[in-house]
C-alpha cells in the first residue's frame, strides 16, 4: 500500500545502538531514509549500521555522548558531511537508572544532573545543532521520546527520569510552535514498558515482569518495533498536519487512569 515512506530523507537517531533506537534505525532505513546512527557505545552503533547495510539500506555510525555539547555538534557535522542534509531528528537516547534515581530524598545531586544531561540536554543539543539543517532543507520532523512515567506518579519513584520526561513534553510543544513556520513538526511519544536492554534487569525478575504485564490492558510489554512504527509515522509526510502533540503507545496503560 505504501511506498518507501522516508525516501530522500536523512534521519539522525540518537541512542540507536540498541533498543528502540536500533529498531527505529532499521525501520527508517527500510523505508528509504539515510540513517545516522548515533550512540555513546561506538561498537553498538556500528552493529546497528551493519544490520542496516546487510538489509540493503544506507547508514552512518557516529559516536559520542548526547549530554556533551561538543560531541553532539561533531556528530551532527559528521551526519551532514556524509549525507549533505538533515530532515528528521529523533533524539531518543535516554537513561533510567532505578538503582540511583529514586525519590528526591534518596537521589544524589550528581545522578540527578547526569540524568538531566542525557535525557533533557541531549534533546536540547540535538535540536540546537540539528534544527538549522532542517530549516535549510525547507522543513522536517522532530520526534521526541517521553514516557508514561511523565503522565502519572509512581509509588516506586524514579524522580529524575520522570522530571526529565516531563520537561520534554514542554520542550516539544515549544519547538512545534516556534518552528512551524519553517515547516518543522515536533511531536512526543510516550511509551509504556518496552522490552529493551533498559528494562532487562527488572524484566529478568518474573514477578516484576508479571506486574508490568498485569498493569497493561493489552496484557504484555511493547516490542521496540511497535514504538518505532509510531515514530516512522510522525517522521513521515503522512503526519503532515500533526505537530505539538503527544501520543501514548502504552497498550492502554494510561487509559486505566490509576
Ligand X SMILES: NC(=O)c1ccc[n+]([C@@H]2O[C@H](COP(=O)([O-])OP(=O)(O)OC[C@H]3O[C@@H](n4cnc5c(N)ncnc54)[C@H](O)[C@@H]3O)[C@@H](O)[C@H]2O)c1
Binding site for ligand X (CB under 6 A): 14-15, 17-21, 39-41, 44, 65-67, 92-96, 118, 145, 147, 191, 193-194, 196-199
Grid cell of 79 as nine digits: 551526519
User: Please, what is the minimum distance in Å from the beta carbon of residue 122 to ligand X?
Assistant: 6
* Cβ proximity to ligand X, 64 vs 137, nearer residue: 64
Residue 57 or 191 with smaller CB distance to ligand X: 191
Q: Taking the complex as a whole, how short is the minimal distance between the CB of residue 64 and ligand X, in angstroms?
A: 7
Our answer to whether residue 161 is catalytic in this structure is yes
Which residue in 236, 235, 226 sits closest to 19, CA to CA? 226
* CA–CA dist 152, 133 (Å, integer): 35
Q: How many CB atoms lie within 10 A of CB 2?
A: 8
CB of 240 to ligand X, least distance (A): 25
Q: Which residues contact 69 (CB under 8 A, 6 or more apart)?
A: 121, 125, 128
Given the complex with ligand X, which of 193 and 230 has the nearer CB atom? 193
C-alpha cell at 77: 557535522
CB of 1 to ligand X, least distance (A): 28
Nearer to ligand X, 143 or 239 (CB): 143
The candidate with the shortest Cα–Cα distance to 247, out of 183, 140, 172, 175, is 172
Q: Which of 61, 41, 3 is nearest to 118 (CA)?
A: 41
Q: Which of 90, 124, 129, 161 does the annotation list as catalytic?
A: 161
- Active site members: 161
Amino acid at each position: 500500500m505504501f511506498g518507501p515512506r522516508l525516501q530522500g530523507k536523512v534521519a539522525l537517531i540518537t541512542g540507536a545502538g540498541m533498543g528502540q533506537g536500533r529498531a527505529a534505525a532499521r525501520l527508517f532505513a527500510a523505508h528509504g531514509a539515510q540513517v545516522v546512527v548515533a550512540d555513546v557505545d561506538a561498537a553498538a552503533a556500528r552493529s546497528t549500521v551493519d544490520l542496516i547495510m546487510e538489509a540493503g539500506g544506507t547508514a552512518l555510525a557516529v559516536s559520542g555522548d548526547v549530554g556533551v555539547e561538543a560531541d553532539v555538534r561533531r556528530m551532527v557535522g559528521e551526519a551532514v558531511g556524509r549525507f549533505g542534509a538533515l530532515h528528521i531528528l529523533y533524539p531518543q537516547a535516554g537513561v533510567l537508572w532505578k538503582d540511583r534515581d529514586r525519590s528526591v530524598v534518596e537521589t544524589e545531586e550528581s545522578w540527578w544532573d547526569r540524568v538531566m544531561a542525557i535525557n533533557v540536554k541531549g534533546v536540547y543539543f540535538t535540536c540546537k545543532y540539528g534544527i538549522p539543517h532542517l530549516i535549510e532543507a525547507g522543513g522536517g520532523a522532530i520526534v521526541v521520546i517521553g514516557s508514561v512515567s511523565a503522565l502519572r506518579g509512581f509509588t516506586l519513584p524514579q524522580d529524575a527520569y520522570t522530571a526529565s520526561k516531563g520537561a520534554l513534553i514542554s520542550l516539544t510543544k515549544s519547538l512545534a510552535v516556534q518552528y512551524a513556520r519553517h515547516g518543522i513538526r515536533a511531536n512526543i511519544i510516550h511509551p509504556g514498558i518496552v522490552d529493551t536492554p533498559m528494562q532487562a534487569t527488572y524484566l529478568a525478575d518474573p514477578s516484576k515482569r508479571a506486574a508490568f504485564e498485569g498493569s497493561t490492558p493489552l496484557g504484555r510489554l511493547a516490542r521496540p518495533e511497535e514504538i518505532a512504527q509510531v515514530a516512522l509515522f510522525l517522521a513521515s509526510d503522512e503526519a503532515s498536519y500533526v505537530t505539538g502533540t503527544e501520543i501514548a503507545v502504552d497498550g492502554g496503560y494510561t487509559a486505566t487512569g490509576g
